[in-house]
Amino acid sequence: MPAAILSPLISLACNKPNDNKNNINDINKNFKYSPASRNGLIDLVNDENVNLGDIDTSKITNMSNLFSESYRTDYSGIDKWDVSNVKYFDNMFELPFPETREKVDMSKYNFNNWNLKSAESMYGIFGNLNIIPDISKWNLSNVRDLRGFLGSGYKDNYSKLNININSIRFDLPETIYNVDKQLAGLSLFFHEANVNKIKKPTNYKEEGQDFKKDATPYLLKKPDGNIKYRPKTRHQLRQIVRDGNVDLSTIDVKFIDNIDNLFDFEISKERLAGVNSWDTSNIQSMKNVFKNQDVSLLNINNWNTEKVEDMSGMFEKTKGNIDTSNWVVSKVRDFSNMFAFSHFNNSLEDWDVSNR
């Protein structure tokens, strides 16, 4: 496909008409649909004729931005979802259309039966919702990222949250500079929620403060060739890459399936080049991973991208040109703003974008 035709596809969210036959299987009398991937689930939730209670979600591990293309106002049945294997709920209910958002009242649905044993990140899960559901019985003990958790966050949203915040590790945005401001900055987790109701967690730490404690179990006792670190989760990986003393080429990421916003901090182009050797064969989402960085020393044309579904904003506002002509992008659903405001000037004519 000529680059002149392909480029506009990458600057916009590209959608493909629903084809549920390719994404779902009839399973039993309790469910009509059993999507095997996030893409298949997105196709289903975007179809307003599909009742959410008819979907078996037990195979899904990532629900990030699940409703970001949806005009749906009826969420009946979502309280029945099996989310026990879902790791990522980031921006799940970030609804794109104001006229739709105003009609959605999530308080009608009971989310308290959701099993969140696998949940690691709930960054902005309630997005821009005005009214959130009752989640007072949620167990968030394994969740590492709760930034913007209560959405656009009307003040009484916080009163609906009955959890022990001492069990939560708060990874605060870097825009909060000192301890006093960081504690006040907890309001950013809850947006406009009443910050006076939020008490300082006894285990409060800045992100990266206890890197050695967190990373030690993933520091190999004996190096495997050049590899010294083998993180099992995105949070562990974030802790490691934020230690400026760690050579990124010594990290094995084969167990990681999501590197969204991984380098959302200041890092030199020389150190960033350590990712050139990464095994990305299991990664499904690369959203904003290099946003605002200098990528002029990256040589990642041989990265395995066969499982990637989201590349939105990946090279947005980056400096330096980069070759990605060898990438397999047949499963990518979202290319929006991938190269927006960047210096990218290479051919993409060999890319297969038929999945859009």
pLDDT at residue number 205: 45
**How many domains, the chain?**
1
Q: What is the DSSP string of 174-241?
A: TT--SHHHHHHGGGGTSTTS-GGGPPPPTT---TTTTHHHHHGGGEEEEEETTEEE--SSHHHHHHHH
pLDDT at residue number 126: 82
Q: Rounded CA gap, 24 and 66, in Å?
A: 16
CA 107, chain centre distance (Å):
24
Q: Rounded CA gap, 27 and 232, in Å?
A: 32
- Grouping H, G, I as helix, E, B as strand and the rest as coil, residue 344 is coil
pLDDT at residue number 100: 75
- Grouping H, G, I as helix, E, B as strand and the rest as coil, residue 100 is helix
pLDDT at residue number 13: 38
Q: CA angle 348-349-350, nearest 5°? A: 95
Tens digit of each residue's pLDDT (9 = 90 or more) over 55-85: 999 999 999 989 988 889 999 999 999 999 9
Q: Are 67 and 45 in contact (CB under 8 A)?
A: yes
Rg for the chain, CA atoms, rounded: 21
- H helices of 12-78, where? 38-45
239 assigned to some structural domain: no
30 assigned to some structural domain: yes
261 assigned to some structural domain: no
**Residue 72 belongs to domain spanning:** 18-205
What are 330's two structure tokens?
């047949």
pLDDT at residue number 19: 44
pLDDT at residue number 356: 65
Query: Taking Cα atoms as reference points, which of 265, 285, 264, 353 lies closest to residue 91?
Result: 285
198 assigned to some structural domain: yes
For residue 122, count other CB atoms closer than 10 A to its CB.
24
Residue 73 CB partners (closer than 8 Å, separation 6+): 100, 103, 104
Tens digit of each residue's pLDDT (9 = 90 or more) over 290-340: 999 999 999 999 999 999 999 989 999 999 999 999 999 999 988 988 998
26 assigned to some structural domain: yes
221 assigned to some structural domain: no
Q: Which residues of the chain have pLDDT under 50?
A: 1-5, 7-27, 153-215
Q: Are 105 and 126 in contact (CB under 8 A)?
A: no
95 assigned to some structural domain: yes
φ and ψ at residue 186, rounded to 5 degrees: -60, -25
Q: CA angle 291-292-296, nearest 5°? A: 95
Q: What is the DSSP string of 296-327?
A: TT---TT---TT--B-TTTTTT-BS----TT-
- Grouping H, G, I as helix, E, B as strand and the rest as coil, residue 88 is strand
